[in-house]
Structure formats: structure tokens, C-alpha cells
């Protein structure tokens, strides 16, 4: 029976799909050593936590690493490819969930929800209503989307059609954008946006993209929302801007260090929302990501290639390891 190692428990519908196809084993811990040890006799690994490169050295049976979600930064692609292991992901199926989180975060920041809720509970009704800085509407503001892929487009659609926001976006290749979306360079986008949303993957190019200089160009009331990956932002520069009231606030779902240390400076700001990497996690998206991961697993176990193969250059090496059935 093939061993399907998963870093986290899957949605029941996904587990049910795998019943009979293999032995589904949830990793006992997520540290590098445990994952590498438990992957040694695995045929497939379903990934929701960073994998160490060393995992691929000892995992001689491993056919595929299947990313439960979009971002591929958790899988060391070079090590997987060198070891002849297929890498696949389940793209786009959590985009709606993340886009709804982005609107929630923008509204919560503009409504100063953290403070209002806290003051009403701690100090009573009048304190909850006593805010000298007024809340603000979304309508008419400009939202700037960095990375106009599945999530960026879902954010743009809801923002333009649901909230009457002006939408601008930056893309790597400036292809024609949909109606109601203006294309800008990253520098123009940070200068012109009231709300800046990071929806790009973490790559060598996007690491540190939101640096001190770009934060310095933002409007004084600008809100920064990050659902991408933590290292896209220079944390020291953002913390300094928040301390000096140089920007309006931030909503951060992802961090350079996860779990976020409990004494992290981000916890100290009233105008910062922090969530534990859960923008893409809803009942619906967990089902879709789980089912997508199970679909890809079943294909690989049937000696076929996954639909969303992300390292096609591995195929020849993989086929030498696991010759296809006639």
C-alpha cells in the first residue's frame, strides 16, 4: 500500500477519496528532521508546511510533492527536481477566500474595528463611540494590487464591482488588463494607492519588494495588506513607518517568521491586524484544496503526471525512476 504523508489533516472529502488508494499518514511534527524521517518511506507528500531540501536526499520512494494550495515557496524546487520528484500545486481554488479576506481587512482597518470593539468591551458604550478619527468608506478610494494573478484578479473584481473602488495593478508583463483596471509600475502604484494589496508569489524578485523607499512613497493614510508571503515586506521599514505614523495601518496574514513570535512588534499597534496565515482557509477552500491534492495524488499513483506539474523538466528523470505502464 503506498504511503501518502501529509503535513496536516486533510478535509474529510479528500481523505475519503484516498481511502483504499494508499495509507494516509499525518506527520507527527513539522520540524525538518521529523519530516525528512517520515518521508523516507513515503510515495507522496502533501505539503502545507515548509519542506527541508534534505528531505529529498533520503526519500527514495518519493514520487511527488503536492502543494495543498498555490504558493510553491514551501517546496525546495531544485532539490525536488534533482531527486526526480514531481512537484504540483492546486492553483486558484483559494483565490475567492483570500480576496474576501482582503476586503474584510480593508473594511476592518477603515472602520478601526480592533479599537472600537476593544473599547466597547473594556470601557463601555461611550468609549466605544468616542473616536476622534472617523471611520472611512471604501467607495472612491484607489486599491493597488501587486501581482494580478488568481487572487489579484478576484480582489480587483470584488473591489471594482462590489465597492466602487478604483483598481490599479502592477504585473510582470504589462499585458492588456481587464476593464476598470489601470496598469502602473510598482513605484507609481505605491504612490497613488490608498490601499496596497500584495498578491504576488515570493520569488527572488519579490523578496523585499516593499522596502523602505517604497514605504516612504506611500500616502500618509495608506493601508498595506499582505496575503502574499512575509519576506515581500521589509519588516524593519514597515515597523518604523508605523511607529512614526507614516502610513495608516496594515493587515498582515503572513510573516517572515511563522509562527509569529508572541513578542513581535506588530502586536503593539492598534492600526495593525495580524492573522495566522489563514486568509485562504475557509470551509470551502479547504475542501477544494484537499480534493485538488487528492486528485493529483490519485493521478500520480496511477503512474500519470499531475495536471498542475510545476517542474516539467523533471519528467525524464522521474520516468527513469518510475517507468510508465505501457
Ligand X SMILES: O=C(O)C(=O)COP(=O)(O)O
| CA torsion, ordered 262, 263, 267, 268, to nearest 10 deg | 160
| Burial environment of residue 175 by CB neighbours within 10 A (0 to 12, 13 to 18, 19 or more) | exposed
Contact between residue 173 and residue 149 where contact means Cβ atoms under 8 Å apart: no
- For residue 246, give the C-alpha cell: 507614516
Q: Which is nearer to ligand X, 3 or 68 (CB)?
A: 68
Sketch the per residue contact string, 10 through 39, with ligand NAI: x for CB under 6 A, - otherwise.
------------------------------
Task: Find all residues with CB under 8 Å of 93, minimum gap 6, and list them.
Answer: 285, 288, 289, 292
Sketch the per residue contact string, 109 through 148, with ligand NAI: x for CB under 6 A, - otherwise.
-------------------------------------xxx
Sketch the per residue contact string, 148 through 167, with ligand NAI: x for CB under 6 A, - otherwise.
xxxxx---------------
DSSP string covering 99-126: HHHHHHHHHHHHTTHHHHHHHHHHH-HH
By a kind-dependent CB cut-off of 5 to 8 A, residue 48 interacts, out of ligand X, ligand NAI, none, with ligand X
- For residue 253, give the C-alpha cell: 496574514
CB of 232 to ligand NAI, least distance (A): 9
Spatial distance between the Cα atoms of 2 and 20, rounded to a whole number of angstroms: 10
Sketch the per residue contact string, 188 through 227, with ligand X: x for CB under 6 A, - otherwise.
----------------------------------------
By a kind-dependent CB cut-off of 5 to 8 A, residue 170 interacts, out of ligand X, ligand NAI, none, with ligand NAI
Contact between residue 160 and residue 139 where contact means Cβ atoms under 8 Å apart: no
2 is an interface residue for ligand X by CB under 6 A: no
Spatial distance between the Cα atoms of 17 and 28, rounded to a whole number of angstroms: 22
70 is an interface residue for ligand X by CB under 6 A: yes
- Residues that bind ligand NAI in the complex, under the rule CB under 6 A: 69-71, 91-92, 94-95, 98, 146-152, 170-172, 199-203, 205-206, 227-229, 253-254, 277, 279-280
- Residues that bind ligand X in the complex, under the rule CB under 6 A: 48, 68-71, 94, 280-281, 289
Amino acid at each position: 500500500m503506498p504511503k501518502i504523508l501529509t503535513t496536516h489533516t486533510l478535509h474529510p472529502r479528500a481523505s475519503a477519496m484516498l481511502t483504499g488508494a494508499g495509507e494516509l499518514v499525518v506527520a507527527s511534527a513539522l520540524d525538518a528532521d521529523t519530516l525528512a524521517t517520515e518521508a523516507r518511506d513515503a510515495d507522496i507528500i502533501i505539503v502545507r508546511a515548509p519542506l527541508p531540501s534534505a528531505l529529498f536526499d533520503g526519500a527514495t520512494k518519493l514520487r511527488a510533492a503536492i502543494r495543498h494550495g498555490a504558493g510553491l515557496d514551501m517546496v525546495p524546487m531544485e532539490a525536488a527536481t534533482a531527486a526526480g520528484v514531481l512537484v504540483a500545486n492546486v492553483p486558484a481554488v483559494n483565490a475567492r477566500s483570500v480576496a474576501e479576506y482582503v476586503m474584510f481587512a480593508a473594511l476592518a482597518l477603515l472602520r478601526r474595528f480592533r479599537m472600537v470593539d476593544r473599547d466597547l468591551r473594556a470601557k463601555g458604550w461611550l468609549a466605544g463611540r468616542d473616536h476622534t478619527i472617523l471611520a472611512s468608506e471604501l467607495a472612491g478610494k484607489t486599491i493597488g494590487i501587486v501581482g494580478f494573478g488568481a487572487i489579484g484578479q478576484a480582489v480587483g473584481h470584488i473591489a471594482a464591482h462590489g465597492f466602487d473602488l478604483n483598481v490599479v495593478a502592477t504585473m510582470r508583463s504589462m499585458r492588456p488588463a481587464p476593464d476598470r483596471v489601470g496598469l502602473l509600475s510598482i513605484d507609481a502604484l505605491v504612490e497613488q494607492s490608498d490601499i496596497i494589496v500584495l498578491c504576488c508569489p515570493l520569488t527572488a524578485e519579490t523578496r523585499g519588494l516593499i522596502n523602505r523607499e517604497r514605504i516612504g512613497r506611500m500616502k500618509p493614510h495608506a493601508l498595506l495588506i499582505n496575503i502574499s508571503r512575509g519576506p515581500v515586506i521589509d519588516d524593519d521599514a514597515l515597523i518604523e513607518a508605523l511607529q512614526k505614523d507614516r502610513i495608516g495601518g496594515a493587515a498582515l496574514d503572513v510573516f517572515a517568521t511563522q509562527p509569529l513570535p508572541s513578542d513581535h512588534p506588530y502586536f503593539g499597534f492598534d492600526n495593525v491586524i495580524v492573522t495566522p496565515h489563514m486568509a485562504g482557509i475557509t470551509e470551502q477552500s479547504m475542501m477544494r484544496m484537499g480534493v485538488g491534492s487528492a486528485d493529483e495524488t490519485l493521478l500520480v499513483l496511477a503512474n500519470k503526471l499531475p495536471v498542475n506539474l510545476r517542474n516539467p523538466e523533471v519528467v525524464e528523470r522521474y520516468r527513469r525512476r518510475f517507468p510508465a505502464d505501457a
